[in-house]
Amino acid sequence: MKSLTRLYLFGQVGYIVLIFTLILVPAVTNAMWVKLSDIELVKQSDVIITAELIGNTQVTINQAETVIGILKVEEVLKGDKNQTVILLALPSPEGPLKSDDIFYKTGQNGLWFLRERKTKGETGIYLADHPQSFITIERAGGQIKRIQKILEDKGATGSLN
């Protein structure tokens, strides 16, 4: 009889542990990203530039507080060659944090792969929301050359393969 009672209690404890595990696991999961090839990065990017994040400000867009970073463009690899400044949507450091938020600091200089934010008809605000969206200038030299080659080949053939 004692062994049946122990088995019953063990089953109940195991069941409770399982329920707590199922409840807690989703709360501690992290965002995951797939590593993209250079060709995929070029395809997914509306603008590719070398630039420095020179500052940020908080503005209201469509009745929502938004942090906008200012990128001082040094070279345009893809996009409007006359761009000198790009506006970059950033996650708010004061707002609720999401596991896929990526924070950038003023002074970061490098290669940026940007997608245009298409929220409620906005234009001219970009996202760097993938871990490969920014590469420091010190590490970007070889990749800049590869991106230029991909874009040259696209210009000659009209498509990215």
- My answer on whether 4 and 23 are in the same domain is yes
Residue among 64, 56, 131 at smallest CA distance from 88: 56
Range of 141's domain?
Answer: 38-157
> What band does 44 get if pLDDT is binned at 50, 70 and 90?
very high
pLDDT at 14: 57
Residues 82 and 108 in one domain: yes
CA dist 77 to 55, 64, 152, Å? 22, 32, 10
Residues 91 and 15 in one domain: no
62 and 3 co-located in one domain: no
Is the full-model pTM beyond 0.85?
no
- Residues 115, 62 share a domain: yes
Supply the CATH number for residue 104's domain.
Answer: 2.40.50.120
Tell me the per-residue pLDDT of 82-140, one tens digit each, with 9 for 90 and over.
999 999 999 877 777 776 678 899 999 999 999 999 876 778 999 998 999 999 999 99
